[in-house]
Structure formats: C-alpha cells, structure tokens
Amino acid sequence: MLDIVWVESELEFPQAVSALMQRGPKLLVPSGTIASLEVKRQASTVPVLFINVGNPVGIGLVESLSHPGANVTGFSDMHADLSGKYVQFAVEVGKPQAAVHYLWYPGWADGKYRLEVAERAAQSLNVKVRTRAISDVAEADDVFGAMKSDGADVVVVQSSPFTFRYRDQLINSATGRGLATIFAFPATARAGALIGYGPDYEDLYRRAASYVERLIRGAKPSDLPVEQPTKFDLIINMKTAKTLGLTMPSTLLAVATEVIE
C-alpha cells in the first residue's frame, strides 16, 4: 500500500510524519529539506529515502554521500553545489563588472551556507554580491523595489522551500519592478523567470524508484550511497528578456535545453 501525503506548510510536517509512523511504514520517502529532517527526527529505525535535498551532509541528514550511515539515504538535487552557477549566469547576463544581486530566505537550515557559496563564486569572478533577505512574501514588492533602486537588473533567487512555494508571486513581483530573475527550478522560466536551471526532476524520480525497490526488498540505506543528478535543464525565457530589454549571450542560448520565444 502506498500513502501519499501532501503538506502545505512546514508547520504541518511533525503531525503528518507522526500520523504516518502510526501506520507502521516499511519505507518513508520525503521530498525536500524540511520534510526529510522531520522524517529523520521521528523515524530512527524505518528506512528513509529522501529526494530533492541540496546539502544532505551539511544539514546532518547523512554522514557522507558515499557512506550515508544510519537509516537514511537518498537523492540530492545539488542546489547548494549549484549556487555558484546561478551567480555565473547573473554575471553573463548583467552589465560588465556589475554587482550580483541575490535574494535569500534566512529562515531555514541551509540558507546561510548557500549564500556563502554564492559569495565565494562571486569573489572568484571578481564581482560583488549585494544581498537582500525576505521573510514574508508580502515583503516582495518592497524588497524588489529596493533592489531595483540599488541598480539591479537581474536577481538570483536562492532555492529554498519558501522561494519554491511562492515562486509565482516572486516572479511577478520582480517583473513588475523591471527585474529579471534566475531560479534553481527549471520550470520557473515557463512562468516568467528569465532563467531556470537545475536537475531534470523526472529523471531524478525515475532513478529514485530503483532505490525504493531495493529498500523494500531489504537493502540497508547505509549501504546505498546518496545519488546526485546526472541530467540538468537550462530553460531561458526570451519573452522575459525582450520585455525587460535584456540581451542574452549566444553562448548561453546555445547550451539551453529549451528557449521560450
């Protein structure tokens, strides 16, 4: 029997996981950082297969990628490792030597680390990072307005549960202030972001199915290394570029998985 639980708010995770534990599950498959941490906290003996966690070692889900340890393994989306890639895109699209403008959500486990990775990437490219934090989606218009006043044309939006949940509102708010956005979720480009780059999630979930089978058949999570994406999608929205008066580099367009005209 397969139980699928959809949770709208991270505040509901403890109760949802507790309810699942009362059913005596043979395997738990959480998606995302917050859900995975809560499942690990409550399920110390049940096998856990996480999906879409950007920094599983750094947040304490596993001991290492090759030797996860305990009862947890899974599939990373590598968003933390890709933080520098989004900075690179911003540099390529923005004005020469302009600062990279970066929006992040500080209220979760991996936010600061991803910011630090982005700052190191900017330093290696000899550009500055100007950051703005957002704690509530109601702040979006004011935050993007302030970034525009700071000289931003393009904003890197840090991947997090918050920015994923409110991605449409953030894209619309930024566009309304004349700002292009770069997101870690490829499909956001179809919703109006300038660039969406990240793992091919369909491929990631297909690969995860093989681990589900092995764990159900009795394999130990500690014996299964954490897997990382092997396929990535780069989607560029040229409609957004034209609306905002941006010129996309031909080198970037040449490697895009999809270009929205």
pLDDT digits (tens, 9 = 90+) for 188-213: 999 999 999 999 999 999 999 999 99
Question: 146 and 70 share a domain?
Answer: no
User: For the chain, what is the mean pLDDT?
Assistant: 92
Closest CA to 185 of 52, 23, 56: 52
Question: 204 and 194 share a domain?
Answer: no
Residue 2: predicted pLDDT: 53
Question: 99 and 139 share a domain?
Answer: yes
Question: 20 and 138 share a domain?
Answer: no
Res. 10 pLDDT band, cuts 50 70 90: low
Question: 209 and 124 share a domain?
Answer: no
Question: 14 and 60 share a domain?
Answer: yes
Q: What is the pLDDT of residues 99-121, one digit of tens each?
A: 999 999 998 878 999 999 999 99
Q: Which residue has the higher pLDDT, 206 or 18?
A: 206
Residue 96: predicted pLDDT: 77
Residue 72: predicted pLDDT: 96
- In 3-state terms, what secondary structure has residue 98? coil
Specify the number of domains making up the chain: 2
Res. 3 pLDDT band, cuts 50 70 90: low
Question: 115 and 179 share a domain?
Answer: yes
Residue 19: predicted pLDDT: 83
Is the pTM here over 0.85, yes or no?
yes
Cβ contacts of 188 within 8 Å, gap of 6 or more:
167, 171, 181, 196
Q: How far apart are CA 137 and CA 38, in angstroms?
A: 24
Res. 233 pLDDT band, cuts 50 70 90: very high
Residue 11: predicted pLDDT: 61
Q: Tell whether the model's pLDDT for residue 6 goes beyond 70.
A: no
Question: 148 and 126 share a domain?
Answer: yes
In the chain, where does DSSP find H-type helix?
Answer: 13-21, 33-42, 83-93, 111-124, 140-149, 161-165, 167-176, 201-216, 238-243, 250-254
Q: Tell whether the model's pLDDT for residue 7 goes beyond 80.
A: no
Residue 194: predicted pLDDT: 98
